[in-house]
Amino acid sequence: MKHQHYFENAIDQLQAENRYRVFADLERVVGSFPKAIYRTCDTNQDEVKDRTKTSAKEVTIWCSNDYLGMGQHESVIRAMSDSVSNIGTGAGGTRNISGTSHPIVELEKELADLHGKEAALVFTSGFVSNQATLSTLPKLLPNCLIISDEFNHASMIEGIRQSGCAKKIFRHNDLEHLEMILAAEDVNRPKIIAFESVYSMDGDVAPIREIADLADQYNALTYIDEVHAVGMYGDHGGGITEREGLAHRIDIIEGTLAKAFGVLGGYITGTRKIIDCVRSYAPGFIFTTALPPAIASAAISSIQHLKNSSLEREQHQLRVLETKQALYDEELPLMPSQTHIIPLWVGDADLCKKASDRLMQEHDIYIQPINYPTVPRGTERLRITPSPLHSQDHIKALTDALVETWTFLELPFEHYDGSNEDETGKQSVSDQLQLVVHKSGG
């Protein structure tokens, strides 16, 4: 075969850097979330892999982005299966060619309402919604400058790159740096500030109000990715912007239907005119088949449920706090997160992978290692995401497993103090985590 060695080399390079990715073969079972069946191939060292010989065991998932377990919620499952029975499977084409299935019309109304916006537009994924919108809107603004947080998600970076417009990167959540960039421009030059509400690898939150203030002062549009907040924050699941009463201060709110809402798809919400422009100009929207109607029906059910019920959100936050406290009490190196995302510092790609493997092999716990390029090199971590369905027994089992793994791999037990934080920052971990610090006898 031609050119195979190039591909081989490319994979070898990933393996040499310990960042070759292996996906766990998992089967979730309705009613038993966060448990799932994990399958592996039985291979003896020298034997050729026989994919028919597999072994299976039950594991506990601690890294799902189905944050609230809505993917197995009774009413969401019913909405999807009813819709499939009544309407069928696929959408039958792009909306341009084949029209819009009615559930998508309803879904877009639901989403506009969720964020208090005039209109919404649904895409096949959150990735596509960011990429399509950020590659299209800036082109419609003359000489547009895009100002982007350095930790923005790959889908935003791709979109910005594809727009071909000028861009400037501001240091993560750094208002002074953002203002410096804004102030250096002609106030009349069209600008878009693109950022996230909850940053998914650190669990920190953007200073949304201050960014909106700067946007007003310097004449910039605001674009926020609320992917890791919709469904989970705000009285109706409208995200951090709802919780802080700031949705009206942000021009475009983007979200996913695939994480807390437990289904699939992405969306943007904003003014009728902005939505109409993306609908009319974005190739990533126009030239691809719409979501299946059953997906839209399931998403509607999930959104409506979480609009009316805060139980899942409250349980979620409680479990998160209990998990943080349990890990903190064992002096495991929690990184300071203000949200439901719990990053555990490892700081080494090889050890991170080894810790993850050991948790799976010895403790039946699944936590995917987070390595470059998802996070910068040298900041590798385990990213733990509790759900309302993780019990206290699950938390205890997780804590014991992590302690054993840390001991086995000789990873340090010490409260994380952030390698580039100053002395005063060191006190803040327990504060930021809102944890109770138990004074030991000594």
Ligand X SMILES: *Cc1c(COP(=O)(O)O)cnc(C)c1O
Q: Which residues bind ligand X (CB under 6 A)?
A: 125-127, 130, 153, 155, 196, 200, 225, 227-228, 256, 258, 266
Residue 216 burial class via C-beta count within 10 angstroms: exposed 0-12, middle 13-18, buried 19 and up: exposed
Q: What DSSP string describes 223-272?
A: EEE-TTTTTTSSTTS--HHHHTT-GGG-SEEEEESSSTT-S--EEEEE-H
Given the residues 117, 167, 191, 259, the one annotated as active site: 259
Q: Which residues contact 74 (CB under 8 A, 6 or more apart)?
A: none
Q: What number of CA atoms fall less than 13 Å from residue 63's CA on the CB side?
A: 19
Q: Are strands 166-170 and 119-123 parallel, antiparallel or unpaired?
A: unpaired
User: Which lies closer to ligand X via its Cβ, residue 101 or residue 125?
Assistant: 125
User: Which lies closer to ligand X via its Cβ, residue 302 or residue 405?
Assistant: 302
Question: Which amino acid, 313?
Answer: R
What is the rounded distance in angstroms from the CA atom of residue 74 to the CA atom of residue 122? 24
What is the rounded distance in angstroms from the CA atom of residue 239 to the CA atom of residue 225? 10
What is the rounded distance in angstroms from the CA atom of residue 91 to the CA atom of residue 318? 39
Query: 3-state SS of 292-313?
Result: CHHHHHHHHHHHHHHHHCCHHH
What is the rounded distance in angstroms from the CA atom of residue 107 to the CA atom of residue 58? 36
User: Which lies closer to ligand X via its Cβ, residue 226 or residue 242?
Assistant: 226
The yes-or-no answer on residue 53 being catalytic is no
Minimum separation from the CB atom of position 123 to ligand X (A): 9
What is the rounded distance in angstroms from the CA atom of residue 17 to the CA atom of residue 13? 6
Residue 18 burial class via C-beta count within 10 angstroms: exposed 0-12, middle 13-18, buried 19 and up: middle
User: Which lies closer to ligand X via its Cβ, residue 134 or residue 221?
Assistant: 134
Minimum separation from the CB atom of position 84 to ligand X (A): 21
Residue nearest to ligand X (CB): 126
User: Which lies closer to ligand X via its Cβ, residue 197 or residue 325?
Assistant: 197
User: Which lies closer to ligand X via its Cβ, residue 121 or residue 401?
Assistant: 121
Q: Which residues are catalytic?
A: 259
